[in-house]
Structure 1
Amino acid sequence: MMDAPQVPTLFERLGGIFGIAHIIDVLGDRLYDNDTLNRNPAVMRLHNEKGRPGFKFTLIAWMIEQTGGPKVYPGADMRTAHANMTVSDFEFDVVLMEAAGVLTYCGVPQQEHKDLMAVLESVRDDVRAGSKGA
């Protein structure tokens, strides 16, 4: 009896750590510099207090785990991480639009693009639930 071929994880299909780091290097800058997102005082405060390198690191680590890579994310769950940030649905949509643009810019194939967008959308409720007053 033959073993079924192993289906590569999204992590592997995105190019592993280096592929994800490339995507987040671009996306992190786009999110960090987004005027719409920075109108949220909690987002601006996070950026000012934590800094860009740490912001990118946590995004990379989170995405590695969420796409089937090794467990490397040191942060809190999405609900806790976004507590008191008042992220609106509109702001979440802005993040998704930036992500979609970056995935296209980085040449991510259509299926991986679709799969990664689904991963991001899957945390909407937790981000919003953690955002008191949103």
Structure 2
Amino acid sequence: MSNSTQQIDVSLFDRLGKTDGITRIVEDVIQAHMENPKIQAIFIPYKDTPEKLEVILQHTVDFFSEGSGGPVVYKGRDMVTTHKGMNITPEEYACVVDDIMGVLGKHQIDEASQNEVIKILESLKGMIIGQ
């Protein structure tokens, strides 16, 4: 069995480091969003409400854990409801994706896993942009 075949047999959840790894990735992504001048205005206000930030962090970890094949159940709102009224533009969404991909690289997530994450993000795009 080749290495690439073995990798496909392992869930994305496992390849992202399970709950602990996904938590570290999400924390770094949120920090990257807060430092990104093109989208930081969306995220910086959460610094003043750490309890809201913690809820967002947990929901995001659960969402990506379940979506990547982990034994986690996401109990938050659907993507349309979550992003309603935010009016996220395609450019802002691209910045979010860029931040996520940069963090995955920083965490040395392999290219195949990064490509799976991109597919997930692409599948969510229509539920987030322009809501």
> Aligned residue pairs: how many?
123
CA distance in 2, matches of 1:11, 1:35: 30
Unaligned runs of 5+ in 1: none
Change (3 A) 1:72 1:33: farther
Query: Retained in 1: the 8 A contact 2:26–2:60?
Result: yes
Unaligned runs of 5+ in 2: 1-5
1:8 corresponding residue in structure 2: 10
Q: CA deviation at 1:85?
A: 0.6
2:103 corresponding residue in structure 1: 102
Higher helix share: 2
Is 1:127 aligned to residue 128 of structure 2? yes
Q: Secondary structure at the match of 1:86?
A: coil
Query: Retained in 2: the 8 A contact 1:28–1:55?
Result: no
Post-superposition CA distance 1:28-87 (Å, at most 9, x none): 211233321134xxx358625564322222211111011111233221111111011100
Change (3 A) 1:11 1:44: closer
- Counterpart code for 1:96: V
Mean Cα deviation higher: 85-94 or 13-22: 13-22
Q: Normalising by the residue count of structure 2, what TM-score does the alignment of the two structures yield? A: 0.81
CA distance in 1, matches of 2:75, 2:45: 17
Q: CA deviation at 1:100?
A: 0.9
Q: Normalising by the residue count of structure 1, what TM-score does the alignment of the two structures yield? A: 0.80
Matches within 5 A, 1:53-68: 53-68=54-69
Change (3 A) 1:76 1:24: same
Is 1:23 aligned to residue 25 of structure 2? yes
Query: Retained in 1: the 8 A contact 2:33–2:43?
Result: no
RMSD: 2.3
1:91 corresponding residue in structure 2: 92
Query: Retained in 2: the 8 A contact 1:58–1:74?
Result: yes
CA distance in 2, matches of 1:31, 1:66: 21
Moved over 4 A (4+): none
CA distance in 2, matches of 1:44, 1:104: 22
Q: CA deviation at 1:96?
A: 0.5
